[in-house]
Structure 1
Amino acid sequence: MFQYDRCSRNSACACFQLPGASNTGICTDRYAVTCSELASCNRTTNHCSQSDHTCVHHPQCRDIPVCYPAPHYNKQFCQPMPIMPNIPASATWAKNGVTVSGGNGNGNAINQLFKPDGIVIYDDQTLIVADGQNDRIIQWKKGDTIGEVVAGGNGKGNGLNQLKGPRNILIDKETDSLIICDTGRVNGLAMNDQRYLYVSDNAKQEVRRYQWGDKNGIIVAGGNGHGKHLNQLSVPTCLFVDSEQNVYMSDNWNHHVMKWAKGAMA
């Protein structure tokens, strides 16, 4: 990226190029300090004496590199912009699929699945499957012929090492952990880049959004009882949240997919 290019969802963040590097920089708050508060980098090493500062170019302030604050919470403040896949309009897909997990009949062996439900895929193409009737979460690395149980698999139950017909899963990349939707009134899970957790509740006919550590959440869709009106839901199931926090859901018993804009009245 080039000097001062926008590099985050947060419009206050910009790219500051590193000395001696071509199109390489840090993404940080461009309004964190004034020019008069900046100190020059060590002219020999381009290092900064403060551990939470980085040596960068800032030509609006000085002609020589300066030490600019890049605190530990910078990743949360300057969250990266989403990378949109560049799929050509003329792209085509294979007409036949390929089995990548299971395919050996229903059963509980580690090369089998039994009524699998939700799936997620890591960046390295490792596949995580909610193996519903086997009460477990099983992982299949790319090219593997057998899976590995990563949660549950200790019989049906509500113990901390057990699951009961898991329906859905997602990956929290911040903590590299799984969030599992076990059988009950909850069907769908989604998490956006701000780590808000969205949960569809098919008993209350609503979708709630939770901040990390929040036990109550707020209603972002539905919550007006079971029905067909545009402010109602009827067994909300799968969820998707886009970069603008619009919520999309499959409204199961109403036989349609709905979009609820951020801030829409429930």
Structure 2
Amino acid sequence: TTSTTVTTSTSTTTVTTTTTSTSTTTVTTTTTSTSTTTVTTTIIPLRAPAIEIPPNAKWQQNGVTVAGGNGSGSGFNQLIQPLGLYVDDAQTVYVADRNNHRIVGWKWNATSGEVVAGGNGEGNGTHQLFNPFDVIVDKERDSFIICDWRNRRVVRWLRRNGIHGETTISNIDCFGLTMDDIGSVYVADMKKHEVRRFQRGDSQGTVVAGGNGDGNHDDQLSSPQYVFVDRDYSVYVSDFGNHRVMKWVEDAKEGVVVAGGQGQGNNFTQLSNPQGVVVDKMGTVYVADAENYRIMRWVKEATEGNVIVGGNGRAELLNELNYPFGLSFDLYGNLYVVEWGNNRVQKFNIEQTIK
């Protein structure tokens, strides 16, 4: 995004000429100069890396547990069936701790988390959440935006000293959500098989992907889960029931397949119940291939993907993933994966030299 500032300065010069007669002639000259300053701001989509990741980049195969990993439970060092996540600029990890009905923040290198929203038992009160599925941070308004799934609402929760949330969207079966650079919120509605964009102050939203019933045609989705929006406002959605990732450019009437779409399976051309999806500057798609227990990378316009982490089974070893769901990068290209089955978040550090 480029913003331009124009500065105009005006100077006036007065020249007085006296003749030998009694008349005086005054000449006024006005000079206007204009200078233009161009300021370029780079937009980093939510969950995307700030750096340019080459298509052959590699990540360490053993993850580092940065949240949970201490069994299933409600302690501050535990999670129960976590789903979505958001990583901020300070590498604090915010996790939708589904069955603890709370959002928990884990600061960099912390051994336990801090409840930042909910945590007051399941319920529909303004101070409660009920099976939250996803969370993002609205930096401009210093607040969390949360998919409060069982309450069929999206809530905004103040980031500092927030003791209750405000419902911003009602009657929606929200699974995943994200936000673009102008503050519009995008929500995947898994039961209506669509993604809606909600501009500020809009409670109804506009369909930007799907919305034509449950199906596998290019204008349809089947139980969409997670959503990503790039700098061009193209929408990428994990089309769970169709085992594919779809891209819908702005104002499109149908999408195109950018990963999977060859039926359910574990070949490199296939996905099995995809979840979190992130796209980098190069257009490379990264997707949590949940029931293949791996993270796949699909380079732009590729016909097959490759495994970047996981794919080694579904136990608790550091190179294994047990139902990966939420997916995010930090600014430096490190990859974060929520493991629903292992009640933890794993960080996989990037190891290849980057541009």
Normalised by the length of structure 2, the TM-score is 0.54
Partner of 2:347 in structure 1? none
Partner of 2:144 in structure 1? 178
**Partners of 1:128 and 1:156 in 2: CA distance:** 19
Partner of 1:81 in structure 2? 42
**Partners of 2:227 and 2:55 in 1: CA distance:** 26
Query: Considering only aligned residues, what root-mean-square deviation do their CA atoms show, in Å?
Result: 2.4
**Partners of 1:88 and 1:264 in 2: CA distance:** 29
Q: 5+ unaligned residues in a row in structure 2: which ranges?
A: 12-31, 45-49, 151-172, 255-355
Residue correspondence of structure 1 range 94-105 to structure 2 within 5 A = 94-105=60-71
Contact 2:84–2:135, Cα closer than 8 Å, also in 1 = yes
Alignment of 1:61 with 2:33, yes or no, is yes
**Between structures 1 and 2, the one with greater strand share:** 2
Larger gyration radius, structure 1 or structure 2: 2
**Partners of 1:153 and 1:79 in 2: CA distance:** 41
Sequence identity percentage: 49
Report the residue type matching 2:230 in the other structure. Answer: D
Residues paired across the two proteins, number: 207
**Partners of 1:121 and 1:146 in 2: CA distance:** 16
Report the residue type matching 2:122 in the other structure. Answer: K
**What displacement does 1:217 show?**
1.1
2:209 pairs with one of 213, 217, 221: 221
Contact 1:119–1:128, Cα closer than 8 Å, also in 2 = yes
The farther-off stretch of 82-91 and 178-187 is: 82-91
**What displacement does 1:151 show?**
0.6
Partner of 1:145 in structure 2? 111
2:242 pairs with one of 242, 246, 254: 254
Report the residue type matching 1:179 in the other structure. Answer: I
**What displacement does 1:82 show?**
2.5
**Partners of 1:177 and 1:261 in 2: CA distance:** 28
Contact 2:84–2:176, Cα closer than 8 Å, also in 1 = no
Contact 1:79–1:193, Cα closer than 8 Å, also in 2 = no
**What displacement does 1:135 show?**
0.4
**Partners of 1:265 and 1:94 in 2: CA distance:** 40
**Partners of 1:151 and 1:112 in 2: CA distance:** 16
Residue correspondence of structure 1 range 1-266 to structure 2 within 5 A = 9-10=1-2, 13-14=3-4, 28=5, 30=6, 35=8, 38-39=9-10, 61=33, 80-82=41-43, 84-87=50-53, 91-184=57-150, 185-265=173-253
Q: 5+ unaligned residues in a row in structure 1: which ranges?
A: 1-8, 15-27, 41-59, 70-77
Cα-to-partner distance string for 1:209-262 (whole Å, 9 max, x where unaligned): 111111111111111111111111111111000000000000111111100111
Normalised by the length of structure 1, the TM-score is 0.72
Q: Secondary structure at the match of 2:99?
A: helix
Contact 2:213–2:221, Cα closer than 8 Å, also in 1 = yes
**Partners of 1:39 and 1:121 in 2: CA distance:** 49
Partner of 2:29 in structure 1? none
Report the residue type matching 1:81 in the other structure. Answer: T
